[in-house]
Structure 1
């Protein structure tokens, strides 16, 4: 959402593009702040994920690449949790 709204609408100069990539990455990280008990420092890895997703969007100009990448990211994290739960049961 942030990438499409901020980066698509405000394309133009390189300075604006860098600013929008930075803002969308920070917002992406901060939207996950509740997952970490309000710790901003714990959201920094998600800010880097937001940066990576911004770069994907810049390269492809297609929001669906971001959606699928993030879906795969979340699915792999979920599968890791399920696997760890299964290993602890046995």
Structure 2
């Protein structure tokens, strides 16, 4: 019960906060400030491109981390389980 109540109250607070910060009027003196200057765009653009690329093709990163994950799983004596259906393994 406490968890559900705190979830509802925190959701209400976050929506209220978002409304005040993102959709409210612009404060005095901030009308002329641009969102991003060209130097910031040059820094952010490669990061966004990398993020999109890894979203569509994560294999290069997974190839790097899989040996370490395999070693860790072997060390703790676990294996990577295959997907299971609602009926259980076949």
Q: Which category describes the TM-score, using the shorter chain as reference length?
A: under 0.3
What TM-score does the superposition give when structure 1 sets the normalisation length? 0.26
Q: Which has the higher contact order (CA 8 A, sep 6+)?
A: 1
What TM-score does the superposition give when structure 2 sets the normalisation length? 0.26
Q: Larger radius of gyration, structure 1 or 2?
A: 2
